[in-house]
Structure 1
Amino acid sequence: MTPTRRVFELRTYVAVAGKVDQLVERFSDHAVALFEKHGMASVGYWVASDDQGNPTDSLIYIVAHESRESAQKSWEAFWADPEWSELQAKGERITASATSVFLDPTSFSPVR
Structure 2
Amino acid sequence: MIYELKKYISHPGKSDALRERFMKVTLPIFKRLGMQVLVVVQFHDKASTLSYVLAFRDEDERTASWLAFGNDPEWQKAKSESETNGPLLAEQTSERIDWLLTQNT
Give your verdict on TM over 0.5: yes
> Normalising to structure 2: TM-score of the pair?
0.85
Which residue in the other structure is 2:50 paired with?
A: 59
> Unmatched 5+ residue regions in structure 1?
1-5
In the aligned structure 2, how far is the partner of 1:69 from the partner of 1:103? 17
Q: Deviations over 1:74-97 (max 9, x none)?
A: 000000000001112222121111
Q: Deviations over 1:36-90 (max 9, x none)?
A: 222211111111232xxxx431001111111122111100000000000111222
Which residue in the other structure is 2:14 paired with?
A: 19
Whichever of the two has the greater Rg, that structure is 1
Which residue in the other structure is 1:105 paired with?
A: 99
Q: Contact 1:7–1:105 at 8 Å: present in 2 too?
A: no
Output the aligned Cα RMSD. Answer: 1.6
Q: Deviations over 1:2-40 (max 9, x none)?
A: xxxx22110000001121111110011110011122221
What SS does the corresponding residue of 1:101 show, helix, strand or coil? strand
> Normalising to structure 1: TM-score of the pair?
0.80
How many equivalent residue pairs? 100
What SS does the corresponding residue of 2:94 show, helix, strand or coil? strand
Instruction: Choose from 15, 35, 40 the match for 1:40.
Output: 35
> Unmatched 5+ residue regions in structure 2?
none
**Runs of 4+ with deviation above 4 angstroms:** none
Identity of matched residues, %? 30
In the aligned structure 1, how far is the partner of 2:82 from the partner of 2:6? 21
What SS does the corresponding residue of 2:30 show, helix, strand or coil? helix
